[in-house]
Structure 1
Amino acid sequence: MKITLITVGKIKEKYLRDAIAEYSKRLSRYCKLEIIEVADEKTPDHASDVVENTIRDKEAERIMKYVKEDAYVITLEINGKLLSSEELSAKINQLGIQGTSHITFIIGGSIGLGKEVLARSDYALSFSKMTFPHQLMRVILLEQIYRSYRIINGEPYHK
C-alpha cells in the first residue's frame, strides 16, 4: 500500500520534524510513505470571507497537482467522521482488501481546505471537535496510521 500525506505549510519546529521522521521510519515496514508539502498562503488578521476563500482556492490548486487519479482521498476535516483507532485500522484494511493500492491523506492550512479538494475527497475524517495546529496534525496522523498497521498485523499497541 502506498500512503501519501499532502500537507499545507512547512514544519519549522525540530521536535515535530523529528517525530515525523520517527513515524516515517516505523511505517516503512508496512507501506510506502510519501509526504508532500505545498506552500501556504499568508492569511491576514481579520481576513474577509472573500480573502479566505481566495487563499483556500490557491492552496487547493497546489494540493490538487499531487492528487493521483487512482488514489482514495481522505481529507482531515473538523466536521468529518470521528473514528476510533480500531475503526481507522479497519478502514485502511478494508480499502486494501477492496483493491485500493494508494491512500492520500490531505491536511489543509490554518483556515481549512478549498472547495476543489473537498469535492475530490472520498472520505472526510475528523480527529476531534477541537482544532489542532496543522503541523502537529501530521504527527498525530502518522502515529494513527502506524497504530492502524500494528492493529492490522495483530501486533501489540497501547490502548
Structure 2
Amino acid sequence: MKKWIIFIVIFVVVILGLLIKVYFTSVGPVKAAEKKAFAQANEEISLKEVEDFHIYNGLETVNVLEGKSTKGEKIIVWIPEKSKKVFVKKAKDGLSKEEAIQKLLQEKKPKKIISVRLGMEKNIPLWEIYYRSKNNLINYYYVHFETGEWLKKIENL
C-alpha cells in the first residue's frame, strides 16, 4: 500500500512540474515582447510603470502598453512590429474603455461582451470590442480611439 501512495505522489509531482514548465515556456515570448516594447517606449517617453501590456493582431501586430509617465499621467503607447514607430497618446485625449463600450451599446445589443482592448490599424489607434450577439455569433466592432467614430465591423462569424 505504501508503494502505491509513494508512486501516486511522485506521479503528481512530475505532472505538476511539467505543467509549470509548459506555462513558463508559453509565457516567455510575451514577457520578452513586453520588455522590448517597454525599452522602445522609454526611448520616446519616460515610463514610470506599465499597468497593462498586450499584443494586438489586426492587419499587423502591434504591442500596446498602458501605463504612467514619470509626471504621473496615464499614457498609452502603440508600437507596430513592422515599422517600430512609437505612437504615444495621453489616455485622457481619447475614449476610455467604458466610453468605447457605450458607443457599441448605442448601435448594437450584444448578448455578452467578451473583450475590449486597444489596437492600431493603418496607424489609427482604436478600440476593438469582441462580443457575442443574441444569436450567439461572434462580432467585432472597432471604434476610433480619439474621435469615437465607428471604423469597421465584422459581424456574424
For the aligned pair, the TM-score class normalised by the smaller chain equals: under 0.3
TM (normalized to structure 1)? 0.24
Q: Larger % of helix: which?
A: 1
Q: Larger % of strand: which?
A: 2
